[in-house]
Amino acid sequence: MKFLDLPQLSPLQHALNHDLGESILVSRIEAYSCKRAGSDKKLARSLESDAFRALATSPFGPMTESASRKTLLYLVSTLNAAYVDYDFTNTSPEQFRKEHTTQIAINSIDSTLSGVLGPSYAALRERIWATIELEMQLPKCTVYSYLPEIDDPFTEDGTLWSFNFFFYNKTLKRLLYFSCRAISKTSAQANDPRMFDPSDERVAEDSSDEESWGAYDQDVANNMEW
């Protein structure tokens, strides 16, 4: 998977990062092109194993079908690209769930973030989904969620809760990864220098720079279809 540097997504991601008092909220809103990178070759070979091909059913359809294995490859490759200190190669199809509709996934994200951030999320919500719509064409997306197990960043000590959604547009050959996790400030994760720092002044600048968003907001509004 190739990370797509879409400049309008980064401010949204920073705006969702919050100090929650006893924990910090760390967010990712990232887009990826569904093109195989060199590191995807090992994973692709593992998905051709008899164990995977024998699965008659999965969230992606029968694993005997190439399209089903390819979708799993995209999701696992995205996790590997997003969290380079972890290896998701052995992630099974059962650790993903296909959402019934795109709107159900949106409602789930809205419900969680509204409960955690309150008015702060209400002020961002329209901008977030309008921007994602512009980049991903939401009505044409299939949405999957990831169910954490062990040995991943979402089950480490100190992670209080998390969600992980993948918006996959087969036509655009593009995938958007939307993830949030709350991490206790007393955990080792919170002290990782690579982790989001709630005092980072860049976040406040990005999320409050209304003037820089003006023209883009109008462009987004003109292209909303959902």
pLDDT in tens, 83-111: 999 989 888 899 999 999 999 999 999 99
- Answer positive or negative: Cα dihedral of 136, 142, 12, 115: positive
pTM score, whole prediction: 0.81
**Largest separation between any pair of C-alpha atoms in the chain:** 56
Q: Please state, for a pLDDT cut of 70, what percent of the chain lies above it.
A: 74
pLDDT number for residue 146: 96
- A 10 A CB-CB count for 225 gives 9
Nearest CA-CA partner of 94 in 108, 66, 75, 107: 75
Calculate ∠ Cα 169-100-150, nearest 5°: 85
Residues 6+ apart with CB under 8 A from 176: 29, 30, 31, 32, 132, 135, 136, 141, 166, 167
* Position 66 confidence tier, pLDDT thresholds 50, 70, 90: confident
pLDDT in tens, 180-199: 999 999 875 655 655 554 33
Please report the pLDDT score of residue 211 as a whole number. Answer: 37
